């Protein structure tokens, strides 16, 4: 019998900040903003607020525009 309280086999999902599509965490690129520069966190271990982006070129190309829009808030 499977232990329903266990997290074994759980795959966390995250949302792309550009297209808002949800996907499994390992399928997305994680980045942190340090001094208004986007720093990709390939090991997904950096400290700070992490954001996620799809691997598609469309989403990656829109990151700089997203950062400028985020700074205005």
User: What's the confidence (pLDDT) of residue 69?
Assistant: 87
Look at residue 7 and tell me if it is in a domain. no
Q: Beta 29-34 vs 37-40: how paired, if at all? A: antiparallel
User: What's the confidence (pLDDT) of residue 55?
Assistant: 93
Look at residue 6 and tell me if it is in a domain. no
Look at residue 3 and tell me if it is in a domain. no
Residue 10: exposure state from Cβ atoms within 10 A (0-12, 13-18, ≥19): exposed
Q: How many domains does the chain have?
A: 1
State the CATH number of the domain containing residue 37: 3.30.1230.10
pTM for the model stands at 0.80
What residues make up the domain containing 54? Answer: 13-72
CA 55 to chain centre: 10
Look at residue 55 and tell me if it is in a domain. yes
Mean pLDDT of the chain: 88
**pLDDT tens-place string over residues 46-57:** 999 999 999 999
Q: How many CB atoms lie within 10 A of CB 1?
A: 3
User: What's the confidence (pLDDT) of residue 35?
Assistant: 86
**pLDDT tens-place string over residues 7-19:** 778 889 999 999 9
């Amino acid at each position: 019998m499977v232990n329903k309280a266990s997290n074994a086999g759980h795959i966390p999902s995250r949302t792309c900040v550009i297209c808002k599509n949800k996907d499994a965490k390992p399928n997305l690129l994680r980045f942190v903003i340090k001094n208004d520069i986007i720093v990709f966190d390939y090991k997904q271990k950096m400290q700070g607020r992490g954001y996620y982006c799809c691997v598609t070129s469309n989403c990656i190309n829109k990151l700089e525009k997203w950062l400028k829009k985020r700074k205005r808030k």
